[in-house]
A and B are shown apart, each in its own frame.
Chain A
Amino acid sequence: MDQRGLIERARRGEHDAFTALVDVHLARLDAAARLILRDPELARDAVQEALIRAWRDLPGLRDPDRFEAWLHRLIVNACLDLIRHRKRRVIEVELKPIDSPATHDVAGRLADRDLLDQALTRLEPGHRAVVALHYLLGMPLPEVARAMGIPLGTAKSRLHYALGAMRTTVTAEPEPVPAIVSGGQLA
């Protein structure tokens, strides 16, 4: 059954249909939450909150074609709510090993991943949310603005700022790595 059919059935209270929708979207919601929150446990809480709301309020969704955008809005709001609730507690992301097959450019990609992760850590959650929606979930900027309840200009300026900050970090010259000499001492 196509997604629209699943949404219609879930709106009528068929939980199996909702479960099928969860299976389609869960990995991406989890990824977006981890990007924004930088903490896998908090991300799990945010995804749980977003999906409970989605199931509970699904009968109120008038246009099934808006389901995906609506779901993305729920996850972003759940993430930002959690951040506000946590009140500035410093949180860090857990990096998982790469599952993709090895290529000739593995070292470069690993370096990029680490740099990109550093760059994301330095962004404000609101900026990370714009990055997550636009680049990870593939939403056009007007949709991002609508999902986050911010003016399009603000979404653009946040994205511009975030890209600039990330680009600066990712393309910066690497700092010289101290050589390790015998005995484990740094040269």
Chain B
Amino acid sequence: MTSPRRFEQDLPALLADLYLAGTPDYRDDIVQQTARVRQRPAWTFPERGLPMDLTRPSVFGPAVPWRQLGALALIALLIAAALAAYIGSSQRLPAPFGPASNGLVALVDDTGAIQQVDPVTGQAIVIVPGPGNSRPTYSPNGSRLAYLRANGFTAFDIVVARSDGQGPVVITPKPLSEVVYLGWSPDSAKIVISVAAGRIDVYDATTAGPARTIAVDGQRFGATGFDNFNPSIQDVFRPPAGQQVVFIGETAAGPALFIADADGSNARPIIDRDHSKVAYHDLDMPQWSPDGSRIALILGSPDDPNQRRVYVVDADGSDLRLVSHETRPHSDNNAAWSPDGSHIAFQRWYADASGGLSVTQPITVVGVDDGTEVQVGIVNVDGYLGWSWSPDGTAILEVAQNTDEKRLQIVPIDGSAPRFVDINPADAPSWQRQSD
């Protein structure tokens, strides 16, 4: 047995023993694949500057009256903005939380275009042409749509448009290299993202401008646990007013559930290993209940962190309790509150013959107060690319991970027959909330 003192010294050799296994057998495939890919010309990289032929003044054609054209364009824009504001003010918007009427579904198709689908008729139209779009996410009031647009090969812009895709505005002043979570503030006025460095950044959703970073110390508070699996779930700011944020951080004893004021100040653990009545290995994916009184989260077992359970805790950290009473070895993930806060849906895997937790189950819905549990819908063998509740709380919208099963699945939770829309989403869909 390796002694503690020698462990660090031995680690490189042990890892090499464990993982370095010579040239992989797919070497030739990769060489052939790269040979089929065209290299990106050097001049397209921003730091290399523009080629001279793009910077030379044109010597052909009459002079264009740019100033007059610009003035006309500005007037047209102002008229359009005024019209949009008038039309917008005449529509009634749903409250940002609680049950709402079902609107349209936005999704990215396999060409990178954003399509808007009527979940009743199945009719779909492209509202943002591809390629390069991802993560369409409706605002809580349903009036706007945020999405990521590729900027070059490795970066993204955040774009906000009206719910029909019109009037897109890039709100990020410079491209982002990574976006872990993309969501909205409860008032639909801000875009919230988390990035790899463990920061939470907040952008104005209407104009380009710098982000306000919620000051969570990267070392002490990892600010992790955000997940973009349920894009319609508002899982950072506390409803209904957004006065607090919840995130996973670290105390001296290990990972903990933290609450902070909306500006990142006054961060404090509400569940930590030293004080929790439930022992845990790690915590993950906290989600506010629609009324902001409770938080659902996942705890990994201290005996086997792959076994994960859904818990609910009051917003002050009291009354941490298990919601599902399943006793077989299992892993529950991606908990999402129903719009009325009475149920939580999650996905579950059971152990297979070898003990690995890989037997996919249909979405499980559990009553928060009585623990009654039902499985809804169909089994998607590889799990889900994404799923969320319908705004009215009567159905689960699912997209399977497996390519052969990919289509929009609308699964009523009352056990009635699911409906399918034969469209091939490349990302998790978002279901628009509408007023009654």
Where the two chains meet, the residues of A that have a C-beta atom closer than 8 Å to any C-beta of B are 11, 13, 15, 18-19, 22-23, 26-28, 30-32, 34-35, 44, 47-48, 51-53, 55-60, 62, 77, 80, 84, 86-90, 92, 95-96, 98-100, 108-109, 111-113, 116-117, 121-122, 124, 126, 131-132, 135-136, 138, 148-151, 153-154, 157, 163, 166-167, 170-171, 174
Q: Mark B19-47, 1 if CB is under 8 A from A, else 0.
A: 11111101101110111011111101101
Does B357 reach chain A (CB closer than 8 Å)? yes
> Hey, which chain A residues are within 8 Å of B23, CB to CB?
23, 26-27
Contact with A along B95-136 (1 / 0, CB 8 A): 000000000000000000000000000000000000000000
Partner of A22 from the list B27, B153, B196 (CB cut-off 8 Å) is: B27
Q: Which B residues lie within 8 Å of A13 (CB)?
A: 39
| Chain B residues positioned under 8 Å from A157 (CB to CB) | 219, 250
User: In the complex the two chains form, is B34's CB within 8 Å of A27's CB?
Assistant: no
**Bound-state Cα–Cα, A72 to B218, Å:** 23
16 contacting pairs across A/B (C-beta < 8 A): A22-B27, A26-B24, A52-B34, A55-B34, A60-B44, A87-B385, A87-B386, A96-B21, A109-B17, A117-B18, A124-B282, A149-B196, A150-B197, A150-B218, A163-B7, A166-B11
Instruction: Contact check, A90 vs B30: say whether CB atoms are below 8 A apart.
Output: no
Is B280 in contact with chain A by the CB < 8 A criterion?
Answer: no
Q: Interface residue tally of chain B, by bracket? A: 35 or more
Q: How far is the CA of A87 from the CA of B227 in the complex (A)?
A: 8
Docked pose: A98 CA to B333 CA in angstroms: 35
Pair A57/B154 contact, Cβ less than 8 Å: yes
Contacts of A60 in B (CB 8 A): 40, 42, 44-45, 47-48
Contacts of A126 on B, CB cut-off 8 Å?
A: 224
B38: nearest chain-A partner, CB-CB: A56
Q: Which of B19, B27, B198, B219 touches A35 (beta carbons < 8 Å)?
A: B19
Residue B166, interface by CB 8 Å: no
Partner of B1, one of A34, A111, A166: A111
Check if B177 sits within 8 Å of A112, measured CB to CB.
no
Cα A58 to Cα B40 in complex, Å, equals 8
Tell me, yes or no, whether B331 is within 8 Å of chain A by CB.
yes
B17, A100: Cβ atoms closer than 8 Å: yes
Q: How far is the CA of A157 from the CA of B305 in the complex (A)?
A: 20
